[in-house]
């Protein structure tokens, strides 16, 4: 059975409206107690566990979409101890703000080129996520910083947005007036400046 473990997470919007939820299913077998990797937990996000998708797979597809557009090519590559063997010094933070379809905001941040130690997490995560930020990130093996998710983004640095499913590459997002809009075929998202962060809201069609 899928268990709703959304808790205090700031979940992204769903393309059909409402917020996504975070679901877990323990798929461990009785004989897995000796498994050094621990319990086998499957994670999904969406309107239900059954109809949801893997957040890690969605994050990977989003980044592979950027890579396919050549957006990662200009940045240096350096050796890493990860399984992939190398990292891209990518000076942006990527936050998934909606799923089904995926919509992500890309924020320029030079600190994004290095792995985030816990004490420096506040520079990466908006104030509303200070207490929960370890649960607001998804790993991706080719960049040192997490792919984040939620409806709040730090209000600092130039912004772009993209949507892989709609084949929309990085597009400027201008919030100089205090607000902006992300418009897709079936729905719109509002982006509004609120102090030290930007809040993404659902606007429907």
Provide the residue ranges of all domains of the chain, joining segments of one domain with +.
3-46, 55-204
Q: What is the pLDDT of residue 199?
A: 97
* Per-residue pLDDT tens over the stretch 130-152: 777 667 888 777 888 889 999 99
Q: What is the pLDDT of residue 113?
A: 85
CA 33 to CA 17: how far, in whole Å?
Answer: 40
Residuewise pLDDT in 10s, the chain (205 residues): 899 999 889 999 998 889 999 999 987 666 555 665 656 789 999 999 888 999 999 999 999 999 999 999 989 887 766 555 678 889 999 999 999 999 999 999 988 888 776 556 667 888 888 777 667 888 777 888 889 999 999 999 999 999 999 999 999 999 999 999 999 998 999 999 998 899 999 987 7
* Per-residue pLDDT tens over the stretch 174-198: 999 999 999 999 899 999 999 889 9
Mean pLDDT of the chain: 87
The label of the residue with tokens 């080719």 reads 142
**Residue among 11, 87, 4, 14 nearest 50 (CA):** 4
Q: Check: CB of residue 55 under 8 Å from CB of residue 12.
A: no
Task: Give the CA distances from residue 130 to residues 92, 98, 122, in Å, rounded to whole numbers and listed in that order.
Answer: 19, 20, 6
For 195, the token pair is 């102090």
Q: What is the pLDDT of residue 117?
A: 65
Q: What is the pLDDT of residue 128?
A: 86
Our CA dihedral for 6, 47, 198, 121, rounded to 10 degrees, sits at 40
Q: Which distant-in-sequence residues (6+ apart) come within 8 Å of 87 by Cβ?
A: 77, 78, 79, 80, 142, 143, 144
Q: What is the pLDDT of residue 94?
A: 95
Give pTM, 2 decimals: 0.89
Task: Give the CA distances from residue 26 to residues 3, 38, 123, in Å, rounded to whole numbers and listed in that order.
Answer: 9, 11, 34
Q: What is the pLDDT of residue 115?
A: 77
Q: CB atoms < 10 A from the CB of 81, how many?
A: 7
Q: What is the pLDDT of residue 59?
A: 95
C-alpha 28, offset from chain centre: 27
φ, ψ dihedrals at 59, nearest 5°: -65, -40
């Amino acid at each position: 059975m899928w268990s709703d473990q959304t808790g205090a997470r700031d979940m992204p919007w769903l393309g059909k409206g409402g917020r996504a939820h975070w679901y877990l299913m323990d798929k461990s077998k009785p004989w897995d107690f000796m498994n050094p990797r621990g319990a086998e937990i499957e994670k999904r996000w969406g309107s239900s566990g059954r109809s949801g998708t893997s957040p890690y797979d969605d994050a990977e597809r989003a980044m592979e979409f950027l890579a396919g557009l050549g957006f990662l090519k200009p940045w240096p590559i350096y050796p890493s101890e990860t399984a992939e063997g190398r990292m891209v010094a990518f000076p942006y933070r990527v936050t998934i703000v909606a799923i089904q379809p995926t919509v992500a905001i890309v924020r320029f941040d030079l600190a994004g080129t290095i792995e985030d130690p816990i004490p420096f997490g506040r520079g990466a995560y908006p104030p509303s996520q200070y207490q929960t930020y370890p649960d607001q990130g998804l790993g991706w093996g080719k960049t040192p910083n997490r792919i984040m998710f939620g409806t709040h983004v730090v209000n600092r640095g130039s912004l772009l947005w993209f949507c892989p499913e709609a084949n929309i590459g990085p597009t400027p997002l201008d919030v100089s007036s205090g607000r902006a809009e992300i418009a897709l075929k079936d729905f719109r998202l509002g982006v509004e400046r609120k102090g030290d962060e930007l809040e993404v809201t659902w606007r429907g069609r």
